[in-house]
Amino acid sequence: MAHFVLICLFLCSCAAKDNAGSTDVPPAPSNSNKETQKSDLDNVQKNKVSISCKGEYFNFDEIGARDVGQGLNFYSIEKEIALGSQMAKEVEEYAKIIDDPVISEYVNRVGQNLVRNSDAKVPFTIKMIDSPEINAFALPGGFFFINSGLVLNVDNESEMASVMAHEIAHVTSRHGVKQATRGQIANLASIPLMIMTGGGWAGYAIYQGASLAIPMTFLKFSRNFETEADWLGLQYLWATGYDPSSMVDVFEKLAALEKRKKGTLAKVFSSHPPNSKRAGTIQDLMQCLPNKDQYVLNTAEFRSVKDRLVTLNEEFRRKDKEYDDSRPKLRRKNDDVIEPESKDGGEKEEDKPPVLKRPDKFHYIN
């Protein structure tokens, strides 16, 4: 027992030293050629405007081959997936998952395209929650949920993809389990006490299990983790072919919504809200991305899915009223949804090509 206590105290001491100099960004490799690899991202995190676009996170040709999840971590990939799977089951037990095949397939396809152009080391499972709250979150191990409220409050597919790319970046960087690791190290001093008071290892297992009931630990990240996810997510958005400036647009839009109506955004945004300062940081980083001839801004499929969500919400509300015995039962003469044909008899809405945006329309803030 004495040996165990000494080991725990040693780990706590190491953790204290690590946290004292930590910036929530994995340490750079020790060789001298790579010691400044993350300096530009560090400059942005410290509010320094000067960016030379050099470093480990600026090697765009190596997206997918990079290990952006380095750093102190008690969780193997297998344990991370198992943890995320358990939490995802809890989410699905209490949340209402939209099982409409058209919506589910579309959202999953957009997300998987982003994953393929990311640094992901785990497979992703992507589902939509029926909730008006503007939110999306990715649990450890690649279990991703997006609220219908987010889709209904953005204007195009590129804005939706911007939020998804940011959340995917949290998983590729392993932010959830890194944060959990730091929390566990801070609590290691209590482990010997639990064991000595009769709980034994079973008591510790119960303590571990209780932590699963607090998923906010894995969702509410430090400012530096959020900045890292902004930058990596911006790269994944660009690599997939979407308009990078959409990330600025959606953050400004979300900030305006929250300002107009407090509580519009999910609580997980409170630690690092999508304000104008954050949007300006993203604009600074955008200057490092190589230009492409065209970017996808929107698709007819996004508009179709958004309309379908509106229709489903109306149907849900109508069914709720029908089950309310205190209200009169009403039925419309015709509840069928008729697809409108184009006025000129030309191509239908879903057959139209995606809206593209040229890079010369970018407006950078220096």
Positions annotated as catalytic residues are: 167, 230
Q: Which amino acid type is present at position 26?
A: P
- Structure tokens, 246: 């959409």
Query: Alpha-carbon distance 110 to 116, whole Å?
Result: 10
Query: Alpha-carbon distance 230 to 281, whole Å?
Result: 9
Is the CB of residue 81 less than 8 Å from the CB of residue 141?
Answer: yes
Cβ burial of 10 (10 Å; 0-12, 13-18, 19+) is exposed
The residue whose two tokens read 């890292």 is 228
Residue 323, SS3 per DSSP: coil
Is the CB of residue 12 less than 8 Å from the CB of residue 185?
Answer: yes
Other CB atoms within 10 Å distance of the CB of residue 285 = 23
3-state class percentages of the chain: helix first, strand second, coil last, to nearest 5: 55, 5, 35
Element (H, E) at 139: strand 136-139
Element (H, E) at 137: strand 136-139
Query: Alpha-carbon distance 135 to 146, whole Å?
Result: 6
Residue 347, SS3 per DSSP: coil
Query: Alpha-carbon distance 313 to 334, whole Å?
Result: 17
